[in-house]
Amino acid sequence: MTNLSVNLNKVALLRNSRSFGIPNVIKAASTCIQAGAHGITVHPRPDERHIKPEDIYELAKMLTFEFNIEGNPSLQFLEIIREVKPTQCTLVPDAPEAFTSDHGWDLATNGFWLKPIIQELKEIGIRVSLFIDPDLTEIERAKEIGADRIELYTEPYATAFRNNDVELVLHQYKQAAKKAQEIGLGVNAGHDLNLQNLEKFCSIPNIIEVSIGHALISDALEMGMFNAVKKYLSILTHN
């Protein structure tokens, strides 16, 4: 079974539109875990438009399950990671002004400075994942610079699924996952996965974890957070 990590960024985004803490990020995390989610993901950005550093520290106090913190490894981000020591740190090549994550790492350009960061995080007991396009060469480079896992960037798959032209793109992801697994990398996935496209994507063998935020939080507006998590888990359980 593929594990589900719920990304709470959109809960924080809604919370930040007012000044009195509703909805509550910590309560949302608790509800997700009570419903059976395997972990919680947050992705702080420099402008703090959703998750804030204080959210991360509060979540770290109450989490007894997998905590995944994503982001570009800026000095501020790495300071938080060193203090919190999450289960997993997913390094993402977001520019500060990025609207959302929209590409994987170019490791030919960035691998040399990511390598010592990865080594440091692993030395303090943090599993390191790299946000990667389904590119076999980049996957090999991820292994070379010491990553434990990759997170496949799945927006191209989601777009192809919406356009009813998914088989060729899905094949690329299957090949990417197979390559990563053959060289000893764990495979996570995330971005625009939802109730419609998740089952087909997770037909790819041995996807360890999917991180889902926007779609799940949107579904929760209709069915409630607890039931939304259960719905996603029901799909993952059958794969």
Active-site residue list: 43, 70, 191
Report how far Cα 45 is from the mean position of its chain's Cα atoms: 14
For residue 71, the one-letter residue type is G
Contacts 24+ apart (CB under 8 A), 89-95: 89/121, 89/126, 89/127, 89/128, 89/129, 90/41, 90/128, 90/129, 90/130, 90/131, 90/151, 90/188, 90/211, 91/117, 91/118, 91/128, 91/129, 91/130, 91/131, 92/43, 92/131, 93/131, 94/45
The angle that helices 155-162 and 167-182 make with each other, rounded to 10 degrees, is 150
* Contact by Cβ (8 Å): 5, 229: no
